[in-house]
Amino acid sequence: MRKPMVAGNWKMNKTVADAVTLVNELLPELKAQTAVDRVLCPPFTALYSVSGLLKDSGIGCGAQDLFWEAKGAFTGEVAPDMVAELGKYVIIGHSERRTYFGETDESVNKKVLAALAAGLTPIVCVGETLEENQGGKTEAVVTRQVNAGLSGISAADAEKIVIAYEPVWAIGTGLAATGPDANKVIAEYIRKPYAALYGEAAAQAIRVLYGGSVKGSNAAEFFGQPDIDGALVGGASLKKADFMEIVNAAAK
C-alpha cells in the first residue's frame, strides 16, 4: 500500500517572517495527521528557518529546485548537498521552470540523478500544455517526459522517487482535471512507461501525485482514484485552513 502524500509548493511566496508564521499555524494540526506524508517546499530563502521549525515533527521539508553540480562557480545556483542539509525532498521539472527558465527533459534528468545521489527524494513534475492536450498529444508528451526525465535511475532508487502529474492548463487556473482523466494519464502514461523502464514492482511502489488547482472542495475526487496517491498543491498551500482541508481529505 502506498502512503498518501500532500506536498505544498509555496513557489515564490512568503518572506522568512511569513513562512515562520504559516509553519507555526500549521504545526499542531499538521503534526497530528500522521496518516499522510506531509511536505512543505518554501522558497530557498526560508528553507533554513522552516527546516528548523519542522525538525523532529515528522513533517518533511523540501526545495523547489536544485542544480546538478556539487559546487563551484555557478552564481545563483544551489547544490544538492546544500538542499540535503536542510530537507529531504526537492521538486524537479515544475512546468513553471520548464516554461520560464529553460528547463528541459535533459536538465530534469541530470537534476533527478543528482538529487538521488545526494539522498534526496525528487518530486518530478510532468504534464502537457493546453495546446498539447487539445492536439491529442498528452500521451506522447507525458511518456516522453517520463522516459527522458527519469532515465538512468538505479534499481535501488527506482522505487523512491515521487512523480507529480500536473497538466499545465490546470496549474493556478482554477480549472482542475477530472479525477478519472488524471487517473488515466497516471496509470497509462506514467506508471506504464515507468514499468517498462524499471519493472512493474517499481511502477506500483512509486507515489504519483496530481497537481493543478487542487483545493479542499475537489481533493477527495482525486484521492478516491486508485492510481493517485496525493497532491502537489500550489495556491491552496499558502493558507492553513485550505492546506489542512486537503491534507485531511488525503487521510480518508
Q: Which residues are identified as catalytic?
A: 94, 166
Contacts with ligand PGA by CB under 6 A lie at 9, 166, 171-172, 211-214, 232-236
Residue 218 beta carbon to ligand PGA: minimum distance, rounded to whole angstroms: 11
Backbone phi and psi for residue 14, each to the nearest 5 degrees, phi listed first: 85, 115
Of residues 58 and 172, the one with the C-beta less far from ligand PGA: 172
Helices 16-32, 240-251: inter-axial angle, 10-degree rounding: 30
Of residues 41 and 202, the one with the C-beta less far from ligand PGA: 41
Which pairs from 150-154 meet CB under 8 Å and 24+ separation?
Answer: 150/109, 150/112, 150/124, 150/194, 150/197, 151/109, 151/197, 152/109, 152/113, 153/112, 153/113, 153/116, 153/197, 153/198, 154/116
Residue 94 beta carbon to ligand PGA: minimum distance, rounded to whole angstroms: 6
Of residues 183 and 213, the one with the C-beta less far from ligand PGA: 213
Residue with cell string 512568503: 14
Residue 69 beta carbon to ligand PGA: minimum distance, rounded to whole angstroms: 25
